[in-house]
Structure 1
């Protein structure tokens, strides 16, 4: 399996047999297990396992690369594949591998050559954990419904899972804050502004009547509105990238 993995990596990176680059690659492959011994060995084992689990898909990706134009092929092997390989090697959560490969296929299928944008997408993939990705998908109702259908056979209900996180207010706020910081979701500023104006007007009326219960209900309603987010354009583009829409 190890030889198959190394040969597959060489082919995808465009390393020619007998070239100086192949000699360097082979030298690094031989030395690597002795550098950071346990960690490196475990990562190589995990990478082999991920290649084996996705063997059919990776073969399909290889065929797509081979059928691309020379310019696109060179760009993918020289610029994109190193990012993908790094993520396949270092990513701690197996559930994210599907999205890394989806992103790789998106680059190939849509012939994306904007290097900065590709790097940005893969940077965000690295930043987000699985729980955060699930929460992000919840803002794309079309994809979330498809995801639920796909996961029915696994008896997974993502909506119930996300609702359970809401009970842990601090954790759920942390997730939304992180998604917002990365520019993936935002508050609907117009909607919030209108809600605040309405809040002030209604609160004035309740103050005059000393209706404390109504004021509390109104405050709770405003709090919920302030915590209401929607996808940004970048957030939608990122989802499209990692689900290959």
Structure 2
């Protein structure tokens, strides 16, 4: 297995097909994984997966080069199948990058708690990109400013729905009631990311 891992890292010229073939060789060396191998082949042939892999080829290579020998079986038989399945099935192309950020975190930090990993990836699946970007801005971990929509506008409706979802999932808290007037700035000053929300952001590396 170590030899194959080194073969993957021979140079920056490795294309995605060669990376895939090397991954298949690694998988075959781990016992009892034929169902996963067959499934991954079908995912690979899926149009969405091909498109999203091409767009994120550099990141996938980087992640694969980071897999430790000791953690390879867990990554390839538990984490990778879940990540690839979600990449294929998600409705939003942008989500692939965020799923790979979570995958990268699992690999680089040798995360081994399967239940926690599943929870965070399921949470990523439940949230749409608009929800995630909303959470990012509330966290102040990015340079983007919080969008303050015009009261009762369509944008206000969409963002209010997103905020309600983040509250329901325990990712943010609102410490004041939404005002009836037209000024929402003060209201957004009192929205804070919860400890659970911050742990989730840590998981995806934001």
Give TM class, smaller chain: 0.7 to 0.9
Question: Which structure has more RCO (C-alpha within 8 Å, separation ≥ 6)?
Answer: 1
The aligned residue for residue 239 of structure 1 is: 201
**Deviation per CA, 1:129-179, whole angstroms, max 9, x where unpaired?**
1111111111111x221xx4xxxxxxxxx64xx334763332222111100
Rounded to whole Å, the distance in 1 between the matches of 2:139 and 2:128 is 17
Larger radius of gyration: 1
The aligned residue for residue 94 of structure 1 is: 93
Contact 2:95 2:129 in 1 (8 A): yes
Contact 2:90 2:125 in 1 (8 A): yes
Contact 2:139 2:193 in 1 (8 A): yes
1:116 shift after superposition: 1.4
Contact 1:15 1:22 in 2 (8 A): yes
Rounded to whole Å, the distance in 2 between the matches of 1:73 and 1:16 is 11
Contact 2:170 2:194 in 1 (8 A): yes
In structure 2, stretches of 5+ residues that fail to align are 1-14
- Tell me, what secondary structure is at the counterpart of 2:112? coil
Rounded to whole Å, the distance in 1 between the matches of 2:23 and 2:102 is 18
**Structure 1 residues 226 and 79, CA gap change in structure 2 (3 angstroms):** same
Query: Where do 4+ consecutive residues of structure 1 move more than 6 Å?
Result: none
Q: Structure 1-normalised TM-score?
A: 0.63
1:89 shift after superposition: 1.2
Instruction: From the two aligned structures, give the one with the greater helix fraction.
Output: 1
1:119 shift after superposition: 0.9
Contact 2:16 2:57 in 1 (8 A): no
* 1:35-50 to 2 correspondences below 5 Å: 44-50=46-52
The aligned residue for residue 81 of structure 1 is: 80
**Deviation per CA, 1:79-130, whole angstroms, max 9, x where unpaired?**
1111111111111211111111110111112222121111111011101111
Rounded to whole Å, the distance in 2 between the matches of 1:2 and 1:179 is 36
Q: Pairwise CA RMSD of aligned residues?
A: 3.6
* 1:1-245 to 2 correspondences below 5 Å: 4=18, 7=21, 10-11=24-25, 14-16=27-29, 21-22=33-34, 25-26=37-38, 29=41, 44-65=46-67, 68-70=68-70, 72-141=71-140, 143-145=141-143, 148=144, 159=146, 162-164=147-149, 167-168=153-154, 169-188=156-175, 192=176, 220=181, 225=187, 228-242=190-204, 244=205
